[in-house]
Amino acid sequence: MSTEARPLIIGSSPHIRVKQSVPDIMFHVALALLPVAAFAVWSFGLSALLLLLTTTAACVATEHTACLIARRSTTIRDWSVVVTGLILGLTLPPSTPLWMAVLGSIFGVSVTKSLFGGLGYNCFNPALVGRAFLQIAFPIPLTTWTPPDLPGRFSSLLPTTLTFPFLRADTAALADYIRTALASGGVDGWSGATPLSMWKFAEVPQFESLPRLFLGSIAGSTGETATWLIILCGLYLIARNMMNWRIPAGMLLGAFLLSGAFWLSDKTHYPSPMFMLFSGGLMFGALFMASDMVASPMTSAGVWIYGFFIGMVTVIIRIFGALPEGVMFAILLGNAVSPLITSATQPRTYGLVRQKRWIKQ
Amino acid sequence: MLISALSIAGGVMLLLGLLLAAVLAIANKKLYVYEDPRIDEVEAQLPSANCGACGFAGCRAFAEAVIRGEAAPGQCTASSADTVESIAAYLGVDAGVGEKRVARLACSGGDNVARRFAHYEGRYSCRAASLVAGGGKHCTFGCIGYGDCVAVCPFDALHMNEHMLPVVDEAKCTACGNCVVECPKHLFSIHPISHQLWVSCSTRLRGKDAKAACAVACIGCGLCAKAAPEAVSMDGNLPVVDYGKNEFAVREAIENCPSGAILWVERDGRRVLGVKAAAALEKVLNPPEAPLKKTSASEAEQKSEVSG
Amino acid sequence: MKSYVNSFPHGVHPPDCKYTADAVIETLPLPPEVTILLSQHIGAPAKALVAKKSKVMRGEPIAEAVGFVSVPMHAPIAGTVTAVDYALNPRGEMAQAIKIKIDPDADQEEIYGTPRDLASLTPDELIRAVQETGTVGLGGAAFPTHVKMKPPAGKSVDTLIVNGCECEPYLTTDFRIMVEESDKIITGIQLVMEAMGAKEAFIAIENNKPEALESMAKAIPAGAPISVRSLMTKYPQGAEKMLSRAVLHKDVPSGGLPSDIGVGCFNVATLLQLGQLLPKGQGLIERVITVSGGGVERPGNYRIPLGTPIRYIMEQVGIRPEARKIISGGPMMGMSLSSQDIPLTKGMSGLLVLTEEEMRDGGGTVYPCIKCARCVDACPIFLNPSLLGLLARKARYEEMAEEHHLNDCFECGCCTYVCPSNIPLVQYFRIAKAMNREREAAK
């Protein structure tokens, strides 16, 4: 057969490419989140499962609708919105009413992502914006916690999960439900606190033991408890070159150093740096939220600064702020300064003398 | 007490207001720049396309030039004849209407007649394709057909036909010249519509080679130059019309053309082929196989560009 | 030898695909007809010396250089000139060319040219002799070699870097000639050093070619100021700017030439030709190319007369029906050819015939930039390709050149290679540069 029958293809160099495309990356991030999600369902039961499914479905639906309105071909197939949905679900408390989860999904995806032009144009992490919105709009349900491994978690839902839209979530009923369930398992008393709030708000600061923090048998947001699993899944992404390892490294280092300084100044009042790293959403935030490519700086030096900044702001909010947890706002602040960091850390072009200006216009 | 406090406050505010008003009034007088009110009037009538065809930096600059007497209203090619008349009447100057000028494409090689022998993959644009092995059309001088000219036409006067060849809507064309600049193969030029004899081919190839690339290519036979010797001469293998002697550029020149490379443009923009050329073209288009299919992959490219 | 020290920061590691590394250079039978494009080099096209029906001897000059930045052409086969006319060139343009048909009775063994005593020549005469050979940069740039040998007034070259990196995937011509013809390369190096007054020379070879490192080291005569440097295997190690950093740890100034820091860079294939042609007084009539890729039945390294139509080469080596793309050069910087009628030119270091699977992955769908910064981490000259790409989409070409150093980009393709969004960054940059050039010319 002669080649004349099929015309030759002409195209611009390079003629070969790496195999990883955007959907591949997003798909693998979603894949890496699945073990975390599975652990969450194991710990918190049906409510967590329903919550994760709801946020994912709501985010996908929001993106699809936004594309329809903008008359573009739908972009849900690039998996990025699935990642957003999963992350949002994993950062909410397991008892979050589903209608709030839907509201947060719609707000996060539409305001942060679609309005700015979709994937690649969002300056903030959409999942975090959704969560921040919920945190501010509904502070009480968003700081009501459920203990892990509750008896009967696979047979019934938490009472607040199915709250009718725009009705107040009945947190008192939730507390009753938890007490009854715990009693049936032979445990009494439930303070309703996460390790961070036990340290921050208790009369005498209590420090949860590190092994429990590490293994995840603690209360907290759906997906933030199993530190070991989060680290493993993050390492998988780093190994596949789908995440910039410098971001979590910088963030953990920043948090470690600053909290270490506080700890050395007063060991009874301030928690140890390891407690800081393994409690709350810091590990999950470092590996899965701060590392969001779109909203982080583009230079290697910038990425270290960005990580360090987020880590330190987290510690400052945790120690001095009104809330026990500061990861979410720290990352959002980091997102806000990341374009600035990028332009301030542009490397020297080969063969040029470094220019003496900090910020390019 | 309250009353006095209020009245003091009110008084202070009043004084402050008066002071500032005075400053503003003085500034207004001191910094006032006289501007001919007619500029606004004229600019309002201009099409605001800022196309630059008049040679000035936008419509306002043109309006100023017209009022200074440095330009005639008719130099705005984008305005209709009525508008030009109305501006001329308003200013009491000569309209200076020139002959209508339009963009002409020196290529007739759509996909139905010109072979595309390599399939271009990449950004859907002539400029991009021309940098990749010339774009993949067998005729390397002709139109690539990805419509960069259409994209830059501010007057919607250019459209791609079904064979991926741009067609100038001469009624809408204002001779702004954007397409002339944009075309990577430099196929467009601006001509008054009285230039009716038109060489619609740019190939430098001769005879068989030219014909192999495109059915309507000029084969350099020189019959047109023989038919209108005063106006048409051969430059290499391509005829060149000397529009300085436009009166000799007669319609007879196209009649013997075997391929249709030289044609007659009617004043309404219709392109008329000579009898022989029309018959030859008919033979090429039907009966042979169905016209070449448009590359569907390149359309997909375009889509992904748009969505991306 | 510490290999990791000798490299440059950033860059990429494409799969090397050097399937033809063990294929000994073969000589293809002479083609029945050749097409010699008059402009196969950067600079003024040569002017034809022959007309239709002229009889030419093998190696006879058939076109002369026009000015200094230009080279002559020589007849690669003995035969008759059939036409001086237009032919398709690799850039897809119609350009002037001389077509020669082989003469079956002619002597194809004897090659035009008289041997000369090079030792008696002054440097300037030597440089003129180089121009007469018609040699250009055979690595792919096709810049006339004699022009490179004469640095601008006021600059002098004291160090020679001999580029044997061959960092492009697939290509193995430089490797083969370093293994098979190292002596002639050394002769070429010595001639160029003499002409330029260079004091030392480094032969830079990537450390994935131990055979070449060994063979070149062995060929260096005792006491000669020439040494072999093993460099890290990384793309684009073979670019002039990268070489001067890897070998000498010096930067070529932005917008400058290697001669600004006293360096001259020459490809091993170019030096081989000089070492071979100069003593005999002959002209460049053939070159070694790699023919490889999944679309070829007999991939290998072949010595082929210049001007041979690619169609003929493909007939000889066998082209498979699944071949979809023919590339002149390597897959990272090579040009795709639109037709098999294009003849072999001096600057073609390889012909890759790629199949659909080899060409690219990701389906070609372009996604928006997700600012993953892989291009920033890949760019060997530390530009911000992502930002440049955004500006190019908005057609802000002048801003790209003035504020973001577009003109330092040498289109190595690293950014596009790593981009997970399939954004054709290099293509954007080429368009931007072309538009800027056009705008400059219009001024």
Name the DSSP letter for residue A77.
Answer: G
Say whether pLDDT at B296 is over 70. Answer: no
pLDDT at A214: 87
Q: From B131, which residue of chain A is nearest by alpha-carbon distance?
A: A12
Which among A102, A290, C424, C52 is positioned nearest to B128, based on CA atoms? C424
Q: From B122, which residue of chain C is nearest by alpha-carbon distance?
A: C424
What is the signed CA dihedral for C4, C10, C16, C21, rounded to 10 degrees? -50
pLDDT tens per residue across all 443 residues of chain C? 444 468 888 999 999 889 999 999 999 999 999 999 999 999 999 999 999 999 999 999 999 999 999 999 999 999 999 999 889 999 888 899 999 999 988 888 888 888 888 888 888 899 999 999 999 998 878 899 999 898 888 888 999 999 999 999 999 999 999 999 999 999 999 999 988 989 999 999 999 999 999 999 999 998 889 999 999 999 999 898 999 989 988 888 888 888 889 999 999 999 999 999 999 989 999 999 999 999 999 999 999 999 999 999 999 999 998 888 999 999 999 999 988 989 999 999 999 999 888 876 545 788 999 999 999 999 999 999 999 999 998 889 999 988 888 999 999 999 999 999 989 999 999 999 998 998 888 87
Say whether pLDDT at B300 is over 70. Answer: no
Bridge partner residues of A187 (DSSP): none
pLDDT at B23: 93
Residue A290's identity, in one-letter code, is A
- How close does chain B come to C354, measured CA to CA in Å? 14
Q: How many other C-beta atoms are found inside a 10 Å radius of the C-beta of residue B271?
A: 16
CB proximity A18 to C under 8 Å: yes
Say whether pLDDT at B157 is over 80. Answer: yes
Which backbone phi and psi does A85 adopt, to 5 degrees?
-60, -45
Facing C325 at nearest CB: one of A9, A18, A349: A9
Q: Which residues of A touch B136 (CB under 8 A)?
A: 7, 10
Facing A300 at nearest CB: one of C377, C384, C430: C377
Contact flag B120-A10 (C-beta cutoff 8 Å): yes
pLDDT tens-digit series, residues A100-154 = 999 999 999 999 999 988 888 888 999 999 999 999 999 888 888 888 888 888 9
Q: How many other C-beta atoms are found inside a 10 Å radius of the C-beta of residue A86?
A: 25
Orientation angle between helical segments C268-280 and C182-196, nearest 10 degrees: 80
Facing B307 at nearest CB: one of A9, A11, A72: A72
pLDDT at B99: 77
CB proximity C416 to A under 8 Å: yes
Which among A339, A300, A322, A327 is positioned nearest to A127, based on CA atoms? A327
Q: Which residues of B touch A9 (CB under 8 A)?
A: 118-121
Q: From C331, which residue of chain A is nearest by alpha-carbon distance?
A: A15
Q: Which residues of C touch A355 (CB under 8 A)?
A: none
Please name the helix (run of DSSP H) or strand (run of DSSP E) that holds residue C263, with its range, or none: strand C263-267
Helix (H, G, I), strand (E, B) or coil at B118: strand
- Tokens found for residue A211: 């092994």
Contact flag C338-B204 (C-beta cutoff 8 Å): no
Contact flag A244-C255 (C-beta cutoff 8 Å): no
Q: From B116, which residue of chain A is nearest by alpha-carbon distance?
A: A7
Facing C431 at nearest CB: one of B127, B301, B304: B127
Residue B302's pLDDT band (boundaries 50, 70, 90)?
very low
CB proximity C355 to A under 8 Å: no
Q: Which residues of C touch B141 (CB under 8 A)?
A: 94
Residue B306's pLDDT band (boundaries 50, 70, 90)?
very low
Q: From C242, which residue of chain A is nearest by alpha-carbon distance?
A: A350
pLDDT at A2: 43
Residue of B115, B124, B132 for testing the chain C interface, max C β-carbons within 10 Å:
B132
Q: Which residue has the tokens 């009718």?
A: A164
- Tokens found for residue C231: 């460099």
Which among C352, C371, C360 is positioned nearest to C300, based on CA atoms? C352
pLDDT at B248: 83
Q: Which residue has the tokens 């393709």?
A: C413
The CA-CA-CA angle for residues A143, A148, A153, to 5°, reads 105
pLDDT tens per residue across all 361 residues of chain A? 344 457 888 888 888 888 888 999 999 999 999 999 999 999 999 999 999 999 999 999 999 999 999 888 888 888 999 999 999 999 999 999 999 999 999 999 999 999 988 888 888 999 999 999 999 999 888 888 888 888 888 988 888 888 888 888 788 888 888 888 888 877 777 777 788 888 887 777 777 788 888 888 888 899 988 899 999 999 999 999 899 999 999 999 999 999 999 999 988 888 899 998 998 899 999 999 999 999 999 999 999 999 999 999 999 999 998 888 889 999 999 999 999 999 899 888 888 765 555 444 4
pLDDT at C363: 55
pTM, to two decimals: 0.86
Q: Which residues of B touch A8 (CB under 8 A)?
A: 117-119
pLDDT at C114: 87
Helix (H, G, I), strand (E, B) or coil at B95: coil
Q: Do residues C366 and C421 make contact, with C-beta atoms less than 8 angstroms apart?
A: yes
pLDDT over 70 percentage in chain A:
96
Whether residue C72 is preceded by a cis peptide bond, meaning omega within 30 degrees of 0, is: no
Chain-centre distance for alpha carbon C356 = 25
B20 Cβ partners below 8 Å, 6+ apart? none
- The chains in contact with chain B, meaning 3 or more Cβ pairs closer than 8 Å, are A, C
